[in-house]
Structure 1
Amino acid sequence: MNIIFKRIEIKDKNIVLGLFKKTAEKINKMNIDHWQYWKNPPIEKIKWVENGILNNEFFFIDNQNEENLGMVRILNEDLLYWGKQNKKAKYIHSLVVKEKYNGKGIGTKIINQIEGIAKKDNCSYLRLDADSKNSKLCSYYEKIGFKKVGTKELPLSVNNLYEKELK
């Protein structure tokens, strides 16, 4: 399956917020207390989305038939979670795969494609974070080659920081 990244525009902000809300509801059904603030996001989260869209960091993820599979935010720097870093990296945030596509390996394909982009951009690392309460997600990232290198406490969550060295 081909994965196509399509830059999200500010006019699509409500679609992005809707994807976050649906994902929060899905996670809640799994009895995981993660991303629940997206059901009714505080203003700082809405601003975070707006800034990401305006900085060309949010992408819809489509397949070759132009069906939307979800979305992702890809950053060249992540001061909020990682602070200033010396080595060049790509940062993955807000990876959302729609529920009907879960369990089909699409998340791994998306991460692998972003890894390829990072390598072409001469990055040393691919980095991401996961809410420390979401043990299933944390295990998934470790299973696909990420190593936990720290934690970051924010007002709404405590996140494990993961990185994968690119060779």
Structure 2
Amino acid sequence: MSKVDGKFSLRQATLNDQENIWKILQQAIERRKLDFSNQWQDGYPNPESIKNDIENNFGFVLEAENEIIGYAAIIDEIEPAYEIIEGQWLSNQKYMVVHRVAVSNKYIGKGIATIIFQEIEKIVISRKIHSIKVDTNFDNIPMLKILDKLSYAYCGEVYFRGSARKAFQKLLI
């Protein structure tokens, strides 16, 4: 177990970070598998996903003590899968999307994913946007707990790659 001193930095990922990001995502993919989750068991995400995130300025890494300990894609474009929802979004105002949140195995259970989301909220507000949308698999219990803890509202179901996903939204002040 690694000590976390509370000094974190969420920054734009670069192509030099790609290998470290992929290692963290592979760990998260394996954790989902060990949790008997179907999420991320179909070849997604993959190294090409990360490269695309970085090239589109969507990829962000969380660092502590000069070590990459987490990753997330923060997307400031309309998510096509969110255009049709079985349910209702809280609002139809401009939003940012969070995808591919992953934390290094060294830091599991230390609240790092929560910190990633809190830092994302700061970025979103700094861009004068007041809404975040995110989805997760029905069986991704750790993510469902984080979204509940951070007051993301369950809005219904959206579909990705033919599978239903729980969709959430948070309106920011």
Normalised-by-shorter TM-score class: 0.7 to 0.9
Kindly tell me: are residues 33 and 9 of structure 1, through their superposed partners in 2, closer, same or farther at Cα, counting changes over 3 Å?
Answer: same
Kindly tell me: are residues 15 and 156 of structure 1, through their superposed partners in 2, closer, same or farther at Cα, counting changes over 3 Å?
Answer: farther
| Contact 1:74/1:92, CA 8 A, preserved across alignment | yes
2:22 pairs with 1:22: no
User: Which stretch of the first structure deviates more once superposed, 114-123 or 9-18?
Assistant: 9-18
How far residue 164 of structure 1 moved from its aligned partner, in angstroms, is: 0.7
Distance 2:82 2:54 in 1: 20
| Contact 1:69/1:98, CA 8 A, preserved across alignment | yes
How far residue 155 of structure 1 moved from its aligned partner, in angstroms, is: 2.0
Kindly tell me: are residues 48 and 56 of structure 1, through their superposed partners in 2, closer, same or farther at Cα, counting changes over 3 Å?
Answer: same
Map 1:59-98 → 2, pairs under 5 A: 59-63=60-64, 65-83=65-83, 86-98=92-104
Kindly tell me: are residues 81 and 14 of structure 1, through their superposed partners in 2, closer, same or farther at Cα, counting changes over 3 Å?
Answer: farther
2:10 pairs with 1:5: yes
In the other structure, the counterpart of 2:170 is: 164
Kindly tell me: are residues 126 and 62 of structure 1, through their superposed partners in 2, closer, same or farther at Cα, counting changes over 3 Å?
Answer: same
State the AA in 1 paired with 2:107.
Y
Alignment deviations for residues 21-40 of structure 1 (CA, whole Å, 9 cap, x no partner) = 22111222222222122xxx
| Contact 1:89/1:127, CA 8 A, preserved across alignment | yes
Kindly tell me: are residues 48 and 100 of structure 1, through their superposed partners in 2, closer, same or farther at Cα, counting changes over 3 Å?
Answer: closer
In the other structure, the counterpart of 1:146 is: 152
Alignment RMSD (CA, Å): 2.4
In the other structure, the counterpart of 1:126 is: 132
Alignment deviations for residues 37-76 of structure 1 (CA, whole Å, 9 cap, x no partner) = 2xxx36x95544332111111122101x112212111111
In the other structure, the counterpart of 2:88 is: none
TM-score by length of 1: 0.82
2:117 pairs with 1:117: no
Kindly tell me: are residues 131 and 16 of structure 1, through their superposed partners in 2, closer, same or farther at Cα, counting changes over 3 Å?
Answer: same
| Contact 2:22/2:46, CA 8 A, preserved across alignment | no
| Contact 2:135/2:168, CA 8 A, preserved across alignment | yes
In the other structure, the counterpart of 1:49 is: 50
TM-score by length of 2: 0.80
Percent identity reads 22
